[in-house]
Chain A
């Protein structure tokens, strides 16, 4: 039986032979990295495509013909493949942010399903601050009082966490100062009226407000988990519904552009809020179709990926967050405040998801449009798949974001160029995720076995030394 299997797998093994030789020549650490990081997603994607093709064949479609049709369809038109490229960049942008958001939470052992809700509140907050024309007197007073109170609270919090005798490295004074210095200008600006502000300040303020709103929306489940142990999956899902209803209400009534507007949307943001789009930015490199809405936020997303990587792997906060994610008991033992870490990780995740407001408001719509935003927020769910495919690593997330961006685009190509229902592409996405989960588990076990074997091997070599020192008696 096994001889038969060997014979059967001969062609595959022959084909793989050069690769296995290269693999064997690599240092053990690189082997492990390849085995655990690169191989599982590749296998999952390959298996999923194979399954998709088989499924199509079973349903009476010709997979080969479909590939040809899609390939031909993709290059039709004035812009050819540049159109596809632009659309893939456009699709990938929000996935970068949400993928990073989900991955960052995951590294702390938290499952943020609520990126969508965090995106909605962030986009609305950003658009509101971006379009705001100044505050009426009574509202200004209210905000000033609230701002003063929160500034006081921040100062008190910082004071309460001032260094204690015998407790090194626990000063939170910087945090308090930062909180004050951030809150102060915001309050002042709101009171004076945003119109008094030079346009250049508007963009960071509005995007900052969006990020803060996203962080708040993420921090609430984090707080509930840290404080009461409420499960973040349930809470974030619920927060998605609340966010959708809240933003829908706000965009339909109090913050609506004008009473006469037909759809729920806010007023257009000020001119200085618009960020350049990629066709303009990349004009000297590649000529993209002018209708492509991908914008500078793609670059910001890539930069954020680097920042998240540095944060998680090269700062002590990242060290603490990952320790909480991997082993809460050990983190507690090491003096890491688990509750605070959970809270911070969820806020960070929400902030990353909220940063999509840069793309949606400042890069695409220049306002908050509820129906479009709601569709856009679906990227929050897709971010889970992106994080999973990217192994919850920023580098992997970047690759996975572009992969899923392509997959989404593939869906529309299938729709236009073949008779295959577009929904099948959704099925394909789901199948990839399933294969990933199974594949991850298989490869994790493989890697574990290898690690254990290596450890035993290392001990074995140490025995050789001992054996020579003391010949055994049998």
Chain B
């Protein structure tokens, strides 16, 4: 490996010393030191709100620290702006890609720094040549002439990496780079990262997935509540130690699952079809049976129809074909001469459907409502919460206090607006509410997305409990590990279809990974 082969000799690629950043009434970073040697893959890990993003924004010049210094390759970052950081060799690969779909790879990459002929015309050939060069050096296998809209997510990410390299980056910051990738794509990314390292690039890897940290990084900096709580060499640590550092207490990775008592089918879906947001078919001929007392996992890379499927089942999106039976009641059936039909969400709630939506901010919560009001959303018409005219304020308060206690929602003040709570606690509101409904069928979509490890464990335990009590749970998750640890049976969606189904005993990442990519 190219140990210390960075241009500026032995100076570390990134040295942040004593970084402190205080937002009104909260310390985002407290006296943080981060040293990244040139040519290493360095992970910064921590739960949501641990201060990782603030630290990276400070490094990239987007935010000014209240105290502390930033040095890149031994030279202080001055002025403290992104432009200076880029000049010093820093490049950020964003979690959300910033590409223009109708343009080609080359056009996207050179955007803002176009090579020109006669200072006027875009020199496409020169751009393509440069990109091919980069592509070969780092084994990116990117065709500069392809349109971005034809690329897969993994390829798009590689275009982002090329973009950063094209601008001469020597240090790459990757922010949660695997969130959108399939398992094979993750492996490819690892290959690329190793190639980059071999060429002397330094990589800063922001993540909260410990498997990835163990697989690819050289050193790890662990953050918790704005402070660095650990600096370890990956070779000398373990997943459980890292998790303990991140959370501050031991974490159980495996949820204990009592043996299953599978009952009769409660949700029957047959031949279901639906269109996506652009009016194109997103769900095609989907059929399955969900039984009482089981967790049925739906695995798949995001954007393969899972969102639309759940929305149809919850009555939030019309179906174009097929039928759905919930506990014997036909909630969706073919109607002659009508192309699109949808179930009434209010009626479904009455029939015993619970739904943890994938986007809690969009669907699951009214952020400006108090925690108490959010805890009855969808149940607000029940006689115990509302009289003939007025709502029952005391009953609402009692209910809220009970839920807040049972689900350990923090801060324990039901009158706070939901927006004042952290993501994990917001998610707990949604879960607490949906379970209070005593649903016979629970649609749980990405139930732990953006939730910190402690809350993940809690939510997983509650889902297992529901299953043990004979409820049927349909679990949609982009996290394979979540599906594998919770589900009794796993279906895989690809391109809007169910391309395979396996019992948990026969499933592993390899099998599912192959199905998830349509193979």
Q: Kindly state whether residue B513 has any CB partner on chain A within 8 Å.
A: no
- Of all chain A residues, the one with the shortest Cβ separation from B433 is A334
Q: Please tell me if the beta carbons of A462 and B410 are within 8 angstroms of each other in the complex.
A: yes
Q: Kindly state whether residue B248 has any CB partner on chain A within 8 Å.
A: yes
Q: Please tell me if the beta carbons of A314 and B390 are within 8 angstroms of each other in the complex.
A: yes
Min CB distance B69 to A, Å, is: 20
A window 423-474: CB within 8 A of B: 448-460, 462-463, 466-467, 469-470, 472-474
Q: Please tell me if the beta carbons of B391 and A314 are within 8 angstroms of each other in the complex.
A: yes
- Of all chain B residues, the one with the shortest Cβ separation from A462 is B410
Q: Please tell me if the beta carbons of A448 and B26 are within 8 angstroms of each other in the complex.
A: no
CA distance A117 to B137 in the complex (A): 70
Q: Please tell me if the beta carbons of B49 and A319 are within 8 angstroms of each other in the complex.
A: no
CA distance A336 to B425 in the complex (A): 24
Chain B: number of interface residues, binned into ranges: 35 or more
Q: Please tell me if the beta carbons of B363 and A329 are within 8 angstroms of each other in the complex.
A: yes
Q: Kindly state whether residue B271 has any CB partner on chain A within 8 Å.
A: no
Residues of B within 8 A of A326 (CB): 366-369
The residue from A166, A336, A458, A470 contacting B410, defined by CB atoms under 8 A apart: A458
Residues of A within 8 A of B337 (CB): none
The residue from B250, B316, B381 contacting A333, defined by CB atoms under 8 A apart: B316
Quick check: which of B5-13, B117-125, B178-186, B372-380 contacts chain A, the rest being far away?
B372-380
Residues of A within 8 A of B362 (CB): 327, 329-330
Residues of A within 8 A of B24 (CB): 449-450, 453
Query: A169 and B249 in contact (CB under 8 A), knowing A333-B363, A456-B26, A474-B230?
Result: no
Q: Please tell me if the beta carbons of B420 and A452 are within 8 angstroms of each other in the complex.
A: yes
Question: How many residue pairs, one in A and one in B, have C-beta atoms under 8 Å apart?
Answer: 147
CA distance A457 to B350 in the complex (A): 39
Min CB distance B44 to A, Å, is: 16
Q: Please tell me if the beta carbons of A467 and B421 are within 8 angstroms of each other in the complex.
A: no
Min CB distance A366 to B, Å, is: 35
Q: Please tell me if the beta carbons of A472 and B390 are within 8 angstroms of each other in the complex.
A: no
Q: Please tell me if the beta carbons of A472 and B245 are within 8 angstroms of each other in the complex.
A: yes
Residues of A within 8 A of B349 (CB): 334-335
Residues of A within 8 A of B23 (CB): 449, 452-453
Residues of B within 8 A of A337 (CB): 346
Q: Kindly state whether residue B411 has any CB partner on chain A within 8 Å.
A: yes
How many A residues, CB 8 Å from partner? Answer: 48
Q: Kindly state whether residue A136 has any CB partner on chain B within 8 Å.
A: no
- Of all chain A residues, the one with the shortest Cβ separation from B311 is A333
Min CB distance B103 to A, Å, is: 31
- Of all chain B residues, the one with the shortest Cβ separation from A310 is B390
Min CB distance B55 to A, Å, is: 15
Q: Please tell me if the beta carbons of A457 and B366 are within 8 angstroms of each other in the complex.
A: no
Q: Kindly state whether residue A29 has any CB partner on chain B within 8 Å.
A: yes
Q: Please tell me if the beta carbons of A331 and B350 are within 8 angstroms of each other in the complex.
A: no
Q: Please tell me if the beta carbons of A453 and B366 are within 8 angstroms of each other in the complex.
A: no
The residue from A336, A451, A459, A473 contacting B245, defined by CB atoms under 8 A apart: A473
Residues of A within 8 A of B249 (CB): 466, 469-470
Q: Please tell me if the beta carbons of A334 and B389 are within 8 angstroms of each other in the complex.
A: no
Q: Please tell me if the beta carbons of A332 and B316 are within 8 angstroms of each other in the complex.
A: yes
Q: Kindly state whether residue A167 has any CB partner on chain B within 8 Å.
A: yes
Q: Kindly state whether residue A170 has any CB partner on chain B within 8 Å.
A: yes
Min CB distance A332 to B, Å, is: 6
Residues of A within 8 A of B215 (CB): none
Q: Please tell me if the beta carbons of B411 and A327 are within 8 angstroms of each other in the complex.
A: no
Q: Please tell me if the beta carbons of B25 and A450 are within 8 angstroms of each other in the complex.
A: yes
Q: Please tell me if the beta carbons of A316 and B411 are within 8 angstroms of each other in the complex.
A: no
Interface string of B212-251 (1 = CB under 8 A from A): 0000000000001100011000000000000011001110
- Of all chain A residues, the one with the shortest Cβ separation from B248 is A466
Query: A166 and B351 in contact (CB under 8 A), knowing A333-B378, A453-B26?
Result: yes
Q: Kindly state whether residue B329 has any CB partner on chain A within 8 Å.
A: yes
Q: Kindly state whether residue B201 has any CB partner on chain A within 8 Å.
A: no
Residues of B within 8 A of A469 (CB): 249
Q: Please tell me if the beta carbons of B248 and A467 are within 8 angstroms of each other in the complex.
A: yes
CA distance A345 to B29 in the complex (A): 46
Q: Please tell me if the beta carbons of A315 and B391 are within 8 angstroms of each other in the complex.
A: yes
Residues of A within 8 A of B350 (CB): 166-169, 335
Q: Please tell me if the beta carbons of A459 and B365 are within 8 angstroms of each other in the complex.
A: no
Q: Kindly state whether residue A323 has any CB partner on chain B within 8 Å.
A: yes
CA distance A327 to B417 in the complex (A): 14
Most chain A beta carbons < 10 A, residue from B230, B250, B357, B386: B386
CA distance A333 to B310 in the complex (A): 12
12 A-B residue pairs with Cβ-Cβ distance under 8 Å, sorted by A, are A169-B381, A319-B391, A322-B369, A323-B377, A327-B366, A329-B363, A333-B314, A453-B23, A455-B420, A455-B421, A457-B25, A470-B249
Add 7 more A-B contacts to A168-B382, A331-B366, A455-B422 (CB < 8 A).
A166-B351, A167-B344, A170-B346, A450-B24, A455-B421, A458-B410, A458-B411
List residues of chain A with CB under 8 Å of any chain B CB: 29, 164, 166-170, 310, 314-316, 319-320, 322-323, 326-327, 329-337, 448-460, 462-463, 466-467, 469-470, 472-474
